[in-house]
């Protein structure tokens, strides 16, 4: 899969590679970025390289780097994890680490590319994600793309020193096919 990428109108998703890890660490160690995430914090390049080595050959996940089309800058990361081929489902994660890109539609493009890949290429029937309840921007983005809120998981996750609520959201293949939203990418 060398050189493999998914290209959208504003970003391309390239398979996560070692050369992207330094930027991933930079983003994950940014306090503002980290506020909406549940990744190990702080992290180091050594720890991230060990994580990468462990996961790069995994058959139940695929990780991507988000590259802006106009200048090839790395602006974020995302992927599908916990891929269950029998149940035909996977969990989606995404984060835009370049704060100058927040609110500019790059995350929306990332969601669309990942969902299209999951349904069209992996043959999934359901894609789901967890969102911290205070991450209103991400919840608004996913619901605008046709995702449905399945429920609120109260005091469900230990995040940044406290128990927090998080939403479980999902989109089904049929909803993706009927929406028309995802054809724009």
CB < 8 Å & 24+ apart, contacts of 133-142:
133/164, 133/165, 133/166, 133/167, 134/164, 135/36, 137/36, 137/102, 137/103, 138/36, 138/107, 139/167, 139/169, 141/107, 141/108, 141/111, 142/111, 142/169
Q: In this predicted structure, which of 74-78, 141-145, 173-177, 179-183 has the lowest mean pLDDT?
A: 179-183
What is the mean predicted confidence (pLDDT) over 149-172?
94
Q: Which one, of 52, 58, 107, lies nearest residue 82 by Cα?
A: 58
Domain count for the chain, please give it.
Answer: 1
Does the bond joining 42 to the residue before it have cis omega, within 30 degrees of 0? Answer: yes
Nearest in space to 142 (alpha carbons), one of 168, 177, 178: 168
Mean pLDDT of 126-142: 93
- Compute the average pLDDT of residues 68-90: 97
CA dist., res. 42 & res. 24, Å (int): 12
Tokens describing residue 24: 């991933």
* pLDDT at residue 39, rounded to an integer: 74
CATH number of the domain encompassing residue 56: 3.40.630.30
Read off φ and ψ for residue 150, nearest 5 degrees: -90, -25
pLDDT number for residue 3: 56
Report the percent of the chain where pLDDT is more than 90. 82
pLDDT at 12 over 60: yes
Query: Domain containing 51: what range?
Result: 5-184
Q: What's the whole-number mean pLDDT along residues 142-155?
A: 96
105 confidence band (pLDDT: 50, 70, 90)? very high
Looking at the predicted structure, is the pLDDT value of residue 1 above 90? no
Residues 27-72: tens digit of each pLDDT: 999 999 988 887 767 899 999 999 999 999 999 999 999 999 999 9
Please state the rounded mean pLDDT for residues 98-104: 94
Average pLDDT, the chain: 93
Q: What are phi and psi of 107, to 5 degrees?
A: -65, -40
**Is the pLDDT at 99 greater than 70, yes or no?**
yes
């Amino acid at each position: 899969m060398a050189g493999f990428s998914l290209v959208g109108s504003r970003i391309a998703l390239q398979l996560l590679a070692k050369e992207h890890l330094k930027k991933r660490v930079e983003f994950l160690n940014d306090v503002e970025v980290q506020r909406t995430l549940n990744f190990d914090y702080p992290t180091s390049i050594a720890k991230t390289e060990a994580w990468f080595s462990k996961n790069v050959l995994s058959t139940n996940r695929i990780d991507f780097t988000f590259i802006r089309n106009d200048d090839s800058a790395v602006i974020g990361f995302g992927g599908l994890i916990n891929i269950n081929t029998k149940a035909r489902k996977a969990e989606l994660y995404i984060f835009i680490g370049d704060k100058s890109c927040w609110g500019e539609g790059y995350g929306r493009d990332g969601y669309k590319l990942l969902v299209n890949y999951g349904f069209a290429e992996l043959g999934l029937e359901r894609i789901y994600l967890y969102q911290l309840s205070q991450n209103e921007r991400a919840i608004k983005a996913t619901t605008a793309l046709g995702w449905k809120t399945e429920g609120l998981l109260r005091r469900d996750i230990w995040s940044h020193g406290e128990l927090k609520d998080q939403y479980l959201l999902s989109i089904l293949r049929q909803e993706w096919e009927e929406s028309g939203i995802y054809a724009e990418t």
